Amino acid sequence: MQLLEVNDLSFTYGNHEVLKNIDLSIGAGEVLCILGPNGCGKTTLLDCILGVHRLAGLQVYLNGQLLQNINVKEKAKLVSYIPQKHKESFPYRVKEIVVMGRAPYISGFGAPKKEDQEIVYNVLKSLNIEAFAEKIYSRLSGGEAQLVMIARALAQETDLLVMDEPTAALDFKNEGIILSNIIKLVKDQNKSILMATHFPNHAFQLESYGVSVKVAMMKDGEIKYYGKPSEVINEKTIQDIYGVKTQIIRYNNKKTKVVQHSIVSTLE
């Protein structure tokens, strides 16, 4: 059974058809990267899967259960969401933000138990950010805040994590830190990740580090190419999707000792 299965999903805003006949699936320990130009429907697709948009038919299954049949609390135990940017005006401490991930396990008006606090500490430790615990979340840098969002999702203990452009607005170093953590989550903890990204090279990098990764390349609300990064991302498909000329470079990744692909745009 797949963790996530999407069958023939179409979605319209008013009479604007934004998603057309989307099929995809994610199993345990797999990553699916959604690639595609601005406005092609990536966020709408994530929102349909998260249940933000109401669906009427039999299109989305989480852990074998039809999305509409899962109540909010149960859904929060199956899938967690890591937003692109998260603004928090109240001066919460990091540990308070992360403990919010425990909400589906806390009953009614109950407070987090010792066990919840331990889980929070353990996830902060697993991401090497335990030193942030007492810091005020809204004062963190973009990269630090993104790690805290990942920590909150891990505290939620779901097998599937949905990320909307997890490295948007991050500098080169922080982008690498987030990607390494994604690799660890999948390889060490068998997590599954659905992520929208603007960077085809992210998919190549995950592949070269031995992650089981696929890409869905979208254009105008449709998935036009679907498969392993090294099999579907190339000069032709990128030209079709984004309308830009590129060149794929292949080189030996000294760390992984495998041939890694990288795509660069060739400016005209």
Ligand X SMILES: Nc1ncnc2c1ncn2[C@@H]1O[C@H](COP(=O)(O)OP(=O)(O)OP(=O)(O)O)[C@@H](O)[C@H]1O
By CB under 6 A, name the one of 29, 44, 101, 230 that touches ligand X. 44
Judge whether 69 and 61 are in contact, CB under 8 Å.
Answer: no
158 sits near ligand X (criterion: CB under 6 A): no
For ligand X, the closer CB: 13 or 251: 13
Closest CA to 263 of 227, 237, 225: 237
Q: How far is the CB of 73 from ligand X (least distance, A)?
A: 26
For ligand X, the closer CB: 59 or 230: 59
For ligand X, the closer CB: 42 or 102: 42
Q: How far is the CB of 10 from ligand X (least distance, A)?
A: 13
Give the number of C-alpha atoms closer than 13 A to the C-alpha of residue 236, restricted to the C-beta side: 5
Site for ligand X in 14-43 (CB under 6 A): 16, 18, 36, 38-43
What's phi and psi for 21, nearest 5 deg?
A: 50, 55
Number of residues in the chain: 268
Question: To which residue do tokens 């994590």 refer?
Answer: 161
Helix axis angle, 172-189 relative to 142-155, nearest 10°? 20
Judge whether 78 and 51 are in contact, CB under 8 Å.
Answer: no
227 sits near ligand X (criterion: CB under 6 A): no
Q: How far is the CB of 231 from ligand X (least distance, A)?
A: 23
Task: Give the footprint of ligand X on this chain (CB under 6 A).
Answer: 13, 16, 18, 36, 38-44
